[in-house]
């Protein structure tokens, strides 16, 4: 069943037009004109998608979005705005919105995008449709190993027991943590994920516990840490095996006492979140060598859930592959089928990067394959690593060698400066055009690469590049690149 849409728009005429267009498509739309109205509807109903204006009567639709995104991570968001400034576009893209529509917009394009956004939800749902846990679980796989994982998940849904998820990188640890949150009793609260390995050591405590203004040099304002941000929800501590010892000690103290104190603070704050930790490290030898606190291990591993590597559940590879093909199609890539031979070949691979690697291979196949049916012949070159690192548009580029798929840096051994010098010498662009020509030569493979990585999704490509989406759109136009060009790689 298609999910309902929440429209937050205070311009009545625009709201009427959008509602009519979506209802004509058989979609159900609930409407409100303020942030307060939005929050009331969100608390009472479930939506697959929210369309929101930015300037609302009682506040800013973007600024008020983060808690909504955290509380309803599966709900897609499309931002509509008349404030077509760079700032609004940047802020919209920072929220991870599915799309950003500057007003006036093309109604047909909006309806198409709504369908696409809902489609990506449905694709995510398809997988778990008849699993024991019902529609909401986005985990795919019916192997005995995954059945054991599902059973463990069901055991922690109606309690707050601390869960430790163990498994190699890419086995789906974060997905399991999200599933526990979404299906569990804290689903109305936020899911806050922290990658402890990605935070500089000296900032871990302040990130987790927060700090008071002036607690240390640079602490110019009070900072609310992840524990507090996760109030009423779930705190996911990823890569726990990489946490420095002092932070482990503080974490242990927090878990033991059920209270935290901000760095530099005196006030004790009661913990109100479920803790899920994960690691791809083998903690037992780390305990033996003194790198990981044994008492913390036992605190965290109240309920251990072990995700086996994909090579030990080869039975799941076919279902996962089909699932990712559906996801790719929902993301706008060509819809592909997998032949029986192709599925068998994929199931035989070692998948050292586990499900993440399989996912990447399937997305690349969806993008690169010449035929709609993916068979052994289409898969083999990818497994052999026989794919150019940077996709090309299928036309001669400005850099020598680009037309041969070698990208900007020629044969890959040449550094960028040398390639540029060679370009200036050999391409001999007309006087006054050198800068633009060089920029185009640099941007073309870069943008195609970003589009290929994101399945042609411009918003996500812009996020990957770290540039504004409108800038990307404009440059693609200037360069004559259509997002589909990323799909034309032979």
Ligand X SMILES: Nc1ncnc2c1ncn2[C@@H]1O[C@H](COP(=O)(O)OP(=O)(O)OP(=O)(O)O)[C@@H](O)[C@H]1O
Nearest approach, Cβ of 270 to ligand X (angstroms)? 29
Integer CA distances (angstroms), 323 to 117, 122, 141, 167, 201, in order: 17, 11, 10, 21, 38
The residue with its CB nearest to ligand X is 172
Overall size of the chain counted in residues: 490
DSSP characters over 97-152: -SEEEESS--HHHHHHHHHHHHHHHHHHHHTTTTSTT-TT------SHHHHHHHHH
Should residue 69 be labelled a site residue for ligand X when binding is judged by CB under 6 A? Answer: no
Only one of the segments 81-89, 112-120, 173-181, 462-470 lies at the binding site for ligand X (rule: CB under 6 A); that segment is: 173-181
Choosing from 48, 119, 172, 241, the residue that interacts with ligand X (CB under 6 A) is 172
Residue (of 469, 488, 400, 490) closest to 441 by Cα position? 400
Nearest approach, Cβ of 171 to ligand X (angstroms)? 4
Nearest approach, Cβ of 137 to ligand X (angstroms)? 9
Only one of the segments 114-122, 150-158, 169-177, 471-479 lies at the binding site for ligand X (rule: CB under 6 A); that segment is: 169-177
Q: Which is nearer to ligand X, 138 or 445 (CB)?
A: 138
Nearest approach, Cβ of 245 to ligand X (angstroms)? 21
Only one of the segments 165-173, 334-342, 382-390, 391-399 lies at the binding site for ligand X (rule: CB under 6 A); that segment is: 165-173
Only one of the segments 84-92, 166-174, 219-227, 264-272 lies at the binding site for ligand X (rule: CB under 6 A); that segment is: 166-174
Q: Which is nearer to ligand X, 173 or 186 (CB)?
A: 173
Q: Which is nearer to ligand X, 354 or 470 (CB)?
A: 354
Should residue 167 be labelled a site residue for ligand X when binding is judged by CB under 6 A? Answer: yes
Nearest approach, Cβ of 132 to ligand X (angstroms)? 14
| Paired strand residues for 373 | 337
Nearest approach, Cβ of 241 to ligand X (angstroms)? 10
Q: Which is nearer to ligand X, 107 or 148 (CB)?
A: 148
Q: C-alpha angle with apex 284: 278 to 286, nearest 5 degrees?
A: 85
Q: Which is nearer to ligand X, 123 or 481 (CB)?
A: 123
Choosing from 29, 193, 355, 461, the residue that interacts with ligand X (CB under 6 A) is 355
Instruction: Give the relative orientation of helices 376-383 and 340-347 as an angle to the nearest 10 degrees.
Output: 30
Should residue 171 be labelled a site residue for ligand X when binding is judged by CB under 6 A? Answer: yes
Number of chain positions touching ligand X (CB under 6 A):
18
Should residue 356 be labelled a site residue for ligand X when binding is judged by CB under 6 A? Answer: yes
Q: Which is nearer to ligand X, 54 or 355 (CB)?
A: 355
β-pairing, 99-102 with 274-279? unpaired
Could you tell me the two tokens for 329? 């199609």
Residue (of 46, 44, 12) closest to 31 by Cα position? 12
| Window 377-416: contact mask with ligand X (x via CB under 6 A) | ----------------------------------------
- Restricting to residues 270-289, which ones interact with ligand X according to CB under 6 A? 280
Asked if residue 283 has a cis previous peptide bond (ω within 30° of 0), the answer is no
State the Cα–Cα distance between residues 153 and 52, nearest whole angstrom: 34
Only one of the segments 32-40, 69-77, 354-362, 371-379 lies at the binding site for ligand X (rule: CB under 6 A); that segment is: 354-362
Choosing from 173, 322, 336, 444, the residue that interacts with ligand X (CB under 6 A) is 173
Q: At 220, is the secondary structure helix, strand, or coil? A: coil
Task: Identify the residue whose tokens are 């309806």.
Answer: 111
Only one of the segments 86-94, 171-179, 260-268, 442-450 lies at the binding site for ligand X (rule: CB under 6 A); that segment is: 171-179
State the Cα–Cα distance between residues 260 and 228, nearest whole angstrom: 9
Phi-psi bin for 401: left (phi > 0), alpha (psi -120 to 50), beta?
A: left
Should residue 237 be labelled a site residue for ligand X when binding is judged by CB under 6 A? Answer: no
Roughly how many angstroms between the first and final C-alpha of the chain, as a whole number?
37
- Restricting to residues 133-162, which ones interact with ligand X according to CB under 6 A? 139-141
Integer CA distances (angstroms), 37 to 7, 34, 40, 398, 457, in order: 10, 5, 5, 54, 31
Q: At 249, is the secondary structure helix, strand, or coil? A: helix
State the Cα–Cα distance between residues 280 and 464, nearest whole angstrom: 25
Radius of gyration of the chain from its Cα atoms, rounded to whole angstroms: 25
Q: Which is nearer to ligand X, 61 or 119 (CB)?
A: 119
| Window 290-329: contact mask with ligand X (x via CB under 6 A) | ------------------------------x--x------
Neighbour-count burial for 136-152, b at 16+ CB within 10 Å, e otherwise? ebbbbbebebbeebbeb
Return the number of other C-beta atoms located less than 10 Å from residue 411's C-beta.
10
Nearest approach, Cβ of 68 to ligand X (angstroms)? 22
φ/ψ of 226, rounded to 5, equals: -65, -35
Should residue 446 be labelled a site residue for ligand X when binding is judged by CB under 6 A? Answer: no
Should residue 174 be labelled a site residue for ligand X when binding is judged by CB under 6 A? Answer: yes
- Restricting to residues 76-95, which ones interact with ligand X according to CB under 6 A? none
Q: Which is nearer to ligand X, 178 or 212 (CB)?
A: 178
Binding residues for ligand X, rule: CB under 6 A, are 139-141, 167, 169-175, 238, 280, 320, 323, 355-356, 359
């Amino acid at each position: 069943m298609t999910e309902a849409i929440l429209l937050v728009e205070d311009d009545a005429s625009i709201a009427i037009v959008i509602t009519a267009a979506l209802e004509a498509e058989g979609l159900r739309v609930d409407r409100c004109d303020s942030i307060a109205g939005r929050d009331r509807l969100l608390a009472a109903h479930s939506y697959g998608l929210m369309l929101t204006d930015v300037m609302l009567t009682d506040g800013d639709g973007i600024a008020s979005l983060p808690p909504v995104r955290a509380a309803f991570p599966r709900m897609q968001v499309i931002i509509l705005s008349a404030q077509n400034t760079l700032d609004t576009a940047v802020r919209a893209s920072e929220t991870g919105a599915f799309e950003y529509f500057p007003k006036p917009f093309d109604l047909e394009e909006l309806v198409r995008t709504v369908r696409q956004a809902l489609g990506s939800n449905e694709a995510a749902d398809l997988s778990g449709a008849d699993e024991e846990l019902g529609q909401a679980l986005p985990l795919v796989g019916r192997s005995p190993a995954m059945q054991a994982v599902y059973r463990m998940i069901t055991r922690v849904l109606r309690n707050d027991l601390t869960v430790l998820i163990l498994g190699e990188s890419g086995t789906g640890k974060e997905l399991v943590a999200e599933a526990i949150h979404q299906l569990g009793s804290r689903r109305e609260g936020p899911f806050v994920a922290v990658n402890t390995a990605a935070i500089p050591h000296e900032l871990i405590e302040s990130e987790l516990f927060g700090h008071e203004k002036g607690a240390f040099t640079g602490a110019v304002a009070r900072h609310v840490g992840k524990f507090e941000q996760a109030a009423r929800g779930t705190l996911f501590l990823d890569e726990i095996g990489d946490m420095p010892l002092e932070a482990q000690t503080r974490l242990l103290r927090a878990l033991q006492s059920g209270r935290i104190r901000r760095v530099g603070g005196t006030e004790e704050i009661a913990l109100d979140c479920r803790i899920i930790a994960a690691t791809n490290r083998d903690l037992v030898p780390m305990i033996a060598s003194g790198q990981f606190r044994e008492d913390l291990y036992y605190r965290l591993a109240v309920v251990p859930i072990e995700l086996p590597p994909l090579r030990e559940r080869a039975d799941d590879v076919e279902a996962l592959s089909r699932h990712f093909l559906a996801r790719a199609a929902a993301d706008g890539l060509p819809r592909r089928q997998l032949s029986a031979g192709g599925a068998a070949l994929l199931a035989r691979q070692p998948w050292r990067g586990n499900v993440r690697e399989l996912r990447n291979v399937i997305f690349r196949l969806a993008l690169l394959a010449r035929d709609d049916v993916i068979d052994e012949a289409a898969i083999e070159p990818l497994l052999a690593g026989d794919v150019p690192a940077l996709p090309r548009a299928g036309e001669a580029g400005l850099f020598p060698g680009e037309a041969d798929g070698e990208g900007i840096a020629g044969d890959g051994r040449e550094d960028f400066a040398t390639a540029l010098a060679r370009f200036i010498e050999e391409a001999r662009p007309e006087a006054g055009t050198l800068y633009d020509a060089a920029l185009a030569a640099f941007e073309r493979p870069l943008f195609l690469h970003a589009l290929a990585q994101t399945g042609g999704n411009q918003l996500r490509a812009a996020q990957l590049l770290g540039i504004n989406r409108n800038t990307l759109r404009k440059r693609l136009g200037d360069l004559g690149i259509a997002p589909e060009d990323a799909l034309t790689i032979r």
